[in-house]
Amino acid sequence: MIAALLAALFFLPRPWFAALVVLIVAIAGSEWARLCRLEGGAAWLYAAAMAFGFVVLYNTTPLEPTFLLAALFWIVVAPWWLRRGVQRQGLAVAGFIVVLPAAVAFAILAPLEILLILLLVWVADTGAYFAGRAWGRRKLAPEISPGKTWEGAIGGTAAALLYAIILGTFIEGLSWVPYLLAAALLAVLSIVGQEAGRGEGQRHALAGSWRSPRPDRQRDRGVARRSAALALHEGIGVNLAVLGATGSVGASTLDVAARHPDRYKVFALSANGSADALLKLCRAHKPRYAVLSGVAESPGLRKEFSREDTELLFGAKALQDIAAHPDCKVVMAAIVGAAGLPSTLARW
């Protein structure tokens, strides 16, 4: 996908590339509509309105007020969201502020400028990842992304500044101070944007996947959804399995579930080999089952978990059994990479 996008960026005539951006904006609008809990015709209408808004902005001059509004949003509103949690009120309006100015910039800037900006964001993200792994101690936004740390954010910003300095050596007559301040601000806002978006995205994920089920399982999935809806109506928590519970996505999911005990009851938790971390989660959430998919069967471990009224299972096959269990109504597939595919497919 990246290769195709870069090829279009550099080789398509600009009007044709702008037309491609209209399609991208429509897709982005449909995804944002899902965050707003819009479905069917309302979601299509929202996506169409966003595409139309892009066409209007693209043919509007001057564009400075639009970019100023977007900058104020990212500098003022997005950090507030990060601190308070993403609020659904106003989310539909925010979608236009988030998507449209960026899309217009994507359509009007020179291809090399766009590539260099994207590289800066990627460098910042990579630097944040490695700095966080090496030195991360203080949580940046524990309620949204427990794996992100202040040390990682500082490392990402430093990596972005180093990248900007290297680029700056090739630019004649550069004003270094505003240039480096802009690079640092862009790096920081890229981190803020990821976290603010993730906060609402994870809450949306708990409501279930947006993908349509396979035809041969539509009836079973329909029964599961009706059972879940009935449980919610009667005030009974829906049974939730978190596969990959010790990772950042799993931790965020459990945090949301803990905030809504009337809606979700933790049914099962899994980890690859972190037995101590999984046992700690079982003490807190009291699931019926726990799975250590990368650990050989151990009677001692099983006895420890049984003290928490949790039945411990072992091996990758147990993940599939949990995902397909008739009492499990919602599955958060938080296992990274191909290791998570068998259990995800078992659910479908």
pLDDT at 234 over 60: no
Closest CA to 107 of 57, 73, 164: 57
Which band of pLDDT confidence, cut at 50, 70 and 90, is reported for residue 345? Answer: confident
- Judged by average pLDDT, the poorest of 2-6, 145-149, 159-163, 203-207 is 203-207
Mean pLDDT of 110-116: 91
Please list the residue range(s) of the chain that carry CATH number 3.40.50.720.
Answer: 208-347
> Can you give the pLDDT at residue 243?
94
> Can you give the pLDDT at residue 28?
93
Q: pLDDT > 90: what percent of the chain?
A: 33
Which band of pLDDT confidence, cut at 50, 70 and 90, is reported for residue 91? Answer: confident
Domain covering 208-347 assigned CATH 3.40.50.970 in the classification: no
> Can you give the pLDDT at residue 189?
76
pLDDT at 37 over 60: yes
Selected residue with higher pLDDT from 266 and 344: 266
Gap between the Cα atoms of 304 and 76, Å rounded: 48
Q: Which long-range contacts (CB under 8 A, 24 or more apart) does 199-204 make?
A: 199/81, 199/82, 199/85, 199/86, 199/141, 199/143, 199/144, 199/145, 200/35, 200/86, 200/88, 200/91, 201/35, 202/144, 202/249, 202/252, 202/253, 202/256, 203/86, 203/256, 204/34, 204/35, 204/37
pLDDT, tens digit, 9 for 90 and up, residues 4-32? 888 998 999 999 999 999 999 999 999 88
Mean pLDDT of 179-201: 69
**Which CA distances in Å does 106 have to 7, 57, 97, 118, 125?**
14, 12, 14, 10, 20
